[in-house]
Chain A
Amino acid sequence: MSTQATKDQSQARSHFDRGVQLGFILLLLGLWYAVTAFGYVSKLLLPSPQSVVQELSGLLTKSDFWFDVWITLTSIIQAYGLAVVAGVVLGSLIGQSKFAYDVFQPIFAGAFAIPLIIIYPMILYLAGIGPLSKILFGAIYGFLPVALAAMSAFANVPAKWRRYAATLTTNQWLVTRRVLIPAAIPELLSGLRISYVVTFASVIAGEMIAAFAGLGRVISYNAEVLEPARMYAAIMVVIAFAALVNSLMSRLQPRSERA
């Protein structure tokens, strides 16, 4: 079979997959419309799709709402930036030494297994209700998966490549740049993806617990004041944002996977 034919076939299959996915989403929307239109559920629990769309178009024209979006966005970027830089630096250093790896890997893995939201009150004491608290929390939570991925990626560079490099040069920096880093990248990338999800969730959660602004705050506030349609509208914005970033992230593919 020619490669062109295989390509066409896999393209046709992926169109089919997309079609089924779209159909599934439409089915859910139809179900949503049906249960609200025929009054099976309380409007307080699940407002009708039409009312949510109406609230959404209302929100999107308000500068207040865009300020909330801006606060959430900049908080996520700052938290994620801190998490990635600290995680890559510390993780790659720890991964270079078997001793450091054996000591710290279980500690970091253990810390990541704890629902860190339990320390949020302490972070509020420390950083106040402003954006700093959620940035700090998102950074701490997002740091762990990056550090874990980086240390394991560097610790697991196959010995054969280290040996081969040793027969070629004594310049350790060159070995790091040309061998260790490229070898670590696939595992590191998966850590970066997990970290992004965790940071995003942490920032939104922080906003829902205590904040003056941000999408999480908009959601929790409208839940409190019994405006479910507006709450769902804000949720839609978060979902749209998550979907957008997720599709961008899935394009990050290491070069070696092309083969």
Chain B
Amino acid sequence: MLQDSKTRMALSVGQLTQTFQSRGESRTVLSDISLDIREGEVLCLLGPSGCGKSTLLNIFGGFLTPGTGIAKCGDDPITGPRPGDIAFVFQESVLFPWATVIENMETALEFRGVPKAQRREKAMTYLAQVGVDEFAQHYPGQISGGMKQRVALAAALSLETPILLMDEPFAALDEQTRMVLGEDLSRLLTQTKKTIVFVTHSLNEAVFMADRIVVLTARPGRIKGIISVDEPHPRSPDFMTSDSFSAIRRDVYSLLRDEIRKADA
């Protein structure tokens, strides 16, 4: 199938190689990565530990400048974080402990220049969407890890950016909580039509949420293969027990298996 010429690229990298210096040794974490991410697609970066998937996400987020090669958001080279275009959900909780959940949400909106009169209502709308509106008056120290990540997600969504990047947002949570959050996220993302790039360790999470799964090799990370998931969003939990889910999961795993062994060695 030919690429539709009208499809715009939300994010892209070309011939990207990233090398870090540590203790006199240079370590190449990403090697010759070229990837176009289409507007409105949900793309998952999957690979063994240390393959550079978080590094790639940090380059998209503007926290790292590409060593060689280029990273672009639309037609602009990425030179730093882009508050108007890209929202980021971090692996660890970044909620401010001195502010309540609702105040955390309002601070994020204040940063984006939303007028004071609109902040509370908007914050409550997004908290309700991720199902934590009843905890609005709690401090982050008073709610569970899963709730904190829901709040972080609500804050990221409330920024109403076209692009959302998520760095293993559910990694710290237990399996059940991840499943429920995954379902909720799939439903939410269908409504918002965002471009989403997320990093995960979980095969199930990848297949359940992504339109395309990019499998990276062990360090230095190269693109081993890209697998499409042609199931329309929102995806129901039934999808997870379907034959097509198992088939895709098997394909992804066969790409991943050798790389995990290499990373372990």
A complexed with B:
yes
* Chain A interface (Cβ < 8 Å from any Cβ of B): 160-161, 163-171, 174-175, 178-179, 182-183, 185, 254-256, 258-259
Q: Is the CB of A160 within 8 A of B159?
A: no
Within 8 A of A (CB), among B114-147: 139-142
Q: Is the CB of B110 within 8 A of A256?
A: no
Residue in B closest to A158 when the chains form the complex, CB atoms:
B94
Q: Is the CB of B90 within 8 A of A254?
A: no
Chain B 237-258 interface 0/1 with A at a Cβ cutoff of 8 Å (1 = within): 0000000000000000000000
Chain B residues within an 8 Å CB radius of A170:
83
Within 8 A of A (CB), among B45-69: 61-63
Chain A residues within an 8 Å CB radius of B113:
169
Q: Does chain A have a CB within 8 A of B74?
A: no
Segment with Cβ contacts to A, from B1-9, B35-43, B96-104, B174-182: B96-104
Majority secondary structure of chain B interface residues (helix, strand, loop or mixed) = loop
Q: Given that A167-B83, A178-B107, A259-B141 are known contacts, is A185 also in contact with B98, CB under 8 Å in the complex?
A: yes
Query: CB < 8 Å: which of B63, B96, B112 contacts A163?
Result: B63
| Separation of A256 and B92 alpha carbons in the complex (Å) | 18
Chain B residues within an 8 Å CB radius of A256:
97-98, 139, 141
Q: Give chain B nearest CB distance to A112 CB in angstroms.
A: 28
Chain B residues within an 8 Å CB radius of A175:
111
Chain A residues within an 8 Å CB radius of B97:
256, 259
Chain A residues within an 8 Å CB radius of B96:
161, 179, 182-183
| Separation of A182 and B140 alpha carbons in the complex (Å) | 15
Q: Does chain A have a CB within 8 A of B226?
A: no
Query: CB < 8 Å: which of A161, A164, A174, A259 contacts B110?
Result: A174
Chain A residues within an 8 Å CB radius of B88:
164, 167
Q: Is the CB of A174 within 8 A of B141?
A: no
Chain B residues within an 8 Å CB radius of A255:
98
| Separation of A163 and B63 alpha carbons in the complex (Å) | 8
Q: Does chain A have a CB within 8 A of B108?
A: yes
Q: Is the CB of B86 within 8 A of A167?
A: yes
